Every structure is written in C-alpha cells, then in structure tokens.
C-alpha cells in the first residue's frame, strides 16, 4: 500500500516535469495523482466496477484540482492531467493490442471497448466535476 502511494505520487510528479508545469505546482500534481490512484485502488478493493471506480476517482481528482487552482491561481489542466494519468487504462489497451497480434480479434475488440469506455468515464468525471463546481459557485453567489 505504501509503495502504491509512493508510486502514484512520484508518477504524477514526474508527469508534471514531462508536461513542463510550473515548478511551484509540482508537489500539488503529485498529491492529485496519489489521491486519484489510492481512491481507485480502494474502490476496486471493495469490488466496485472498473468503469465506475475510474469515474469516481476522476471526479475526486478534478475536485482536488479545483482547490489547487484557487490556491496557485493556475489553469486546472496543470493539476488534473498528471492526476488522472495513472487511471488511464494502459494495461487493458496493451492486452487488446496483444490479442490483435495473436489474431484473436474477438477478445481484442472486447478489451479495446473496455479501455475506450474507461477513458470516457475518466473524461466524464473531469467534466462533471467542472459543471458541478460552476453550479455551486453560482448558487453561492
């Protein structure tokens, strides 16, 4: 568990460097990544569906990114993109690719569809959180 926490923090931190985020926001990127990945693992541990788990984790990442946006006065993608990268279904997409090579197209398409839906769920989580945020801000004002 501790290694997973360290892994997700360092991964999001390093992704921040690859995407050239401002230096002062690197730490926040790491936190966003760790929160997203840990909640994903937690939800999967309790037998939650992969797609719903990805959606909820992305929602959480986006929520935290909103808080960071206020703190650092920087665009939200700086935090949300490194944060959701660990959730991207790279493993499933790779498996799909493998089955294509083995000419097992049936399984390949099944896996590819799954990877596609999970990435859709992540993006939806991000967008929903933004819409919710705007609604809340409007109600407060």
Partner 1 sequence: MQLNSNKIIEACLLAGKIMLENGAETYRVEDTMQRMATSLGVKQSHCFAMPTGIIFSIDEMEQTKLVRVLERTIDLNKVAMVNNISRRMAQGEISVDEALLELKQIDESKPEYPVWLQLTSVSILSGWFLIMFQGKWADFVPAMISGGLGFAFLVYVHRFAKIKFFSEFLASFVIGFTAIWQVKLGIGTDLDKIIIGSVMPLVPGLHITNAVRDLMAGHLVAGLSKGAEAFLTAFAIGSGIAIVLSIY
Residues that bind partner 1 (CB under 8 A): 3-4, 6-8, 10-11, 13-15, 17-23, 25, 37, 73-75, 77-78, 80-81, 84-86, 88, 90-91, 93-95, 97-98, 100-101, 119-120, 122-124, 126-127
Minimum distance of partner 1 from residue 28's CB (angstroms): 12
3-state secondary structure of 103: coil
How far is it, in rounded angstroms, from Cα 41 to Cα 83? 14
Minimum distance of partner 1 from residue 72's CB (angstroms): 9
How far is it, in rounded angstroms, from Cα 72 to Cα 59? 20
| Nearer of residues 119 and 139 to partner 1, judged by Cβ | 119
Minimum distance of partner 1 from residue 14's CB (angstroms): 4
How far is it, in rounded angstroms, from Cα 111 to Cα 33? 25
Minimum distance of partner 1 from residue 11's CB (angstroms): 5
| Nearer of residues 4 and 133 to partner 1, judged by Cβ | 4
| Nearer of residues 35 and 84 to partner 1, judged by Cβ | 84
CA of 37: how far to CAs of 51, 71, 129, 131, 139, in Å?
Answer: 14, 22, 17, 23, 31
How far is it, in rounded angstroms, from Cα 112 to Cα 107? 8
């Amino acid at each position: 568990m501790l290694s997973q926490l360290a892994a997700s923090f360092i991964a999001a931190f390093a992704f921040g460097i690859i995407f050239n985020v401002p230096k002062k926001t690197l730490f926040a990127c790491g936190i966003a990544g760790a929160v997203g990945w840990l909640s994903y693992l937690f939800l999967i541990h309790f037998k939650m569906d992969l797609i719903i788990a990805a959606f909820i984790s992305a929602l959480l990442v986006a929520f935290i990114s909103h808080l960071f946006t206020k703190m650092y006065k920087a665009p939200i993608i700086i935090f949300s993109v490194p944060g959701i990268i660990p959730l991207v279904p790279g493993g499933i997409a790779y498996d799909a690719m493998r089955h294509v090579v083995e000419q097992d197209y049936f399984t390949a398409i099944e896996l590819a569809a799954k990877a596609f839906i999970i990435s859709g769920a992540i993006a939806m989580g991000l967008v929903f959180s933004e819409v919710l945020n705007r609604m809340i801000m409007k109600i407060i004002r």
